[in-house]
Every structure is written in structure tokens, then in C-alpha cells.
Structure 1
Amino acid sequence: MTKIRDYQHTDWAAVDRIYKEGIKTGLATFETEPKEQAYWEQTSIPKSQLVAVAEDGKVLGWAVLWPVSDRCAYKGVAEVSVYVGENARGMGLGKKLLNALIKRSEELGFWTLQAGIFEDNPGSQAIHKSCGFRIIGVRERVGKLHGVWRNNMILERRSAVNGLD
């Protein structure tokens, strides 16, 4: 049985490996190199870093929130990142991590979550939609990955708990 728990500094080697596996797919991110541990830990939203762990303690995936702006009007808006290791894909772990991240985001007071997903990544789109995200637009040819223009779908999820006033 897989357990979701808070990320610990000692989880970094597994988080980094899983991030690299996601980058290698060409479907997960515009990044071509993973972020450094210090940047990942210090720039992501405190207390939002989660890992999925197998019974044997092996980290199988991770999820985290990123700030979208330093402007006070957006203090309740965050971007989600969810990555599942290549040996754990197709087992529902992405959805489990995203649901745990949503729950954590609401505990932290966030009212809107957003995700940028490549147009040709239907698996990630389906997971997000199943967790209450909706497509709000497509940024056409917003960036190049390995010299190829890519479209990026923008999805968002509004909290049913926060930001209701």
C-alpha cells in the first residue's frame, strides 16, 4: 500500500531521479535539467512538498506547490507539479498525489490551483480533470522544447473551501 507523507530533505535523491525521468519523457515540462535541491526546497511553497512512498520506504512519486506571483492579490494561487517514477506509472499514483496536494493546498489557505500541461499529454490532462481541474485556455507556441514549439494547456481548480467570499 502506498502512503503519502511530507517530503524530507533525505528524499531528495529519489525526487531528483523521478524529476529526471519526467524530463526524459518530453511530456512533463519545458525544463531540460532538474532544479537544484536547495532551489526546489526553498522556492516551492513551504509545507506543500509531498512524496508517495511504497511499503518498503521507496519514494515512487512527488507533488509540490509553486507560487505563481509575489503580488499579494495572488497569495492564494499556486501552480501544481506532480511527478511519478517510471516504474510506478499507470497505478493511480498521480491522482492520489494530486488529491493529497489539493487537500494540503486547502489546509494552507489556497483558493486556486493551476497547472500547465502539454497539449499532447492526455494522461496528465485526464488526472487533473478527474480531480476537479478545468481547461481555461491553451497557450499556443508558448515555448520551445528541444527546438520544437509546444502548446501548453492551462487548467485550474477552484477551492470549495477557501476564497468563497
Structure 2
Amino acid sequence: MIVRAMTPQDGASVIEIYGRGIRTGNATFQDHPGTWDDWDSGHLNECRLVACDQTDRVVGWAGLSGVSSRCVYRGVAEISVYVDPDAQGKGIGTALLGALIAASEAQGIWSLEAGIFPENIASIALHKRHGFSEVGLRRGLGRMGYGPMAGQWRDVMLLQRRSTTVGVD
């Protein structure tokens, strides 16, 4: 497996993997993946990564979204990491998250945030292994619009990783 910069040619694979993650019911409130243009406009241009298998097939991706347009938050980003369900358990999430952290720090980002459903135990564990800590639980943050939990209000665990190299005096 290799982790490399995402290109627009990876767009169809990124959207497919995102859609498969959505269908698990434990990845996001969003009920459909949208288009590549939707994804592209919703993520920062920097720090877009894909993981590819030995045949160069995209098996996972990672990216960042801004948390605010206010200048004081320019070094704070929300992360997304998605791995093809057929490729999970092979260290792809670990490789992507490690590379995303390094890439974000190279871009001057000092704080990464992740919002994860508490039921997504594997994702929470992955983030904690990479230095994220639980900041709090956002109770009833949104109502699920699809899947087995449709109509239920869902909590979201907020995790944060503060860089030890960027933005420290």
C-alpha cells in the first residue's frame, strides 16, 4: 500500500468509498456522497491523500475541512478518513491518519478535530492511537435521516489533536 496526494482523477473512487462509508450508518449524518464537485468544494485544497493497493486501486482517503472562516481558526481543521469496508483492518486508516497529521503540520495547521459517533469504536481507537483526546460529547447533535437509526438523535464525540510542533512557543 502507498499513500499519495489525491488527484481529481481519484474523485470517482473517493466518492464511491465515501458512499460505502455512509451506508454503514456510523460515519456521518450525510445521507449521500454527492458529486466530486461537492466533495472538492467542501474540503481544503491542501492535505488530500489517498491510499492505494498494489494495483494502484484507491482503498481509502483522507482530507481536511475548515472549521471557521475567521482568521484566528486558520490553523484548525476537521479531518475525514474513510477506508473501503472491504479493505479495513489492514492498517490503511493508520497510514492515512499518520500521513494526514504530518501533511497538516507541514501546512501550519496546529489543531485537528474529529467528530465521531460514539458507536464507531474502531475510529475512536484509531484517533486516540494518533494522539487525539476526547474533548467532549455533543449530545443530540443531529437527527439521523437514513439507515437503521433514522429518526434518532445522535451524539457525536469530539476529539482533538494539538500539534506539539506547530503553533508552540
What's the offset of the Cα at 1:71?
0.3
Which residue in the other structure is 1:63 paired with? 62
Which residue in the other structure is 1:6 paired with? 5
Deviation readout 1:13-59 (Å, 9 max, x if unpaired): 11111000000000111110113211322331112110001110100
Please give the secondary structure, in 1, of the residue aligned with 2:23: helix
Q: Distance in 2 between matches of 1:155 and 1:109?
A: 19
Q: Distance in 2 between matches of 1:106 and 1:18?
A: 26
Deviation readout 1:65-92 (Å, 9 max, x if unpaired): 1000000010000000000001101111
State, as a whole percentage, how many aligned pairs show the same letter: 45
Please give the secondary structure, in 1, of the residue aligned with 2:102: helix
What is the 5 A alignment of 1:73-88?
A: 73-88=72-87
Contact 1:5 1:51 in 2 (8 A): yes
Q: Distance in 2 between matches of 1:111 and 1:35?
A: 29
Contact 2:66 2:78 in 1 (8 A): yes
Q: Distance in 2 between matches of 1:33 and 1:158?
A: 31
Q: CA RMSD in A?
A: 0.9
Which residue in the other structure is 1:108 paired with? 107
What is the 5 A alignment of 1:85-96?
A: 85-96=84-95
Which residue in the other structure is 2:154 paired with? 150
Q: Distance in 2 between matches of 1:43 and 1:31?
A: 13
TM-score (norm 2): 0.94
List, as ranges, runs of 4+ consecutive aligned residues in structure 1 with deviation greater than 6 Å: none
Counterpart residue identity of residue 52, structure 1: A
| Uncovered stretches (5+) of structure 2, i.e. residues with no partner | 145-149
Please give the secondary structure, in 2, of the residue aligned with 1:25: coil
Contact 2:131 2:161 in 1 (8 A): yes
What's the offset of the Cα at 1:117?
0.3
What's the offset of the Cα at 1:129?
0.1
Q: Distance in 2 between matches of 1:141 and 1:42?
A: 27
Q: Distance in 1 between matches of 2:98 and 2:130?
A: 7
| Uncovered stretches (5+) of structure 1, i.e. residues with no partner | none
Which residue in the other structure is 2:14 paired with? 15
Which residue in the other structure is 2:98 paired with? 99
Q: Distance in 2 between matches of 1:6 and 1:35?
A: 21
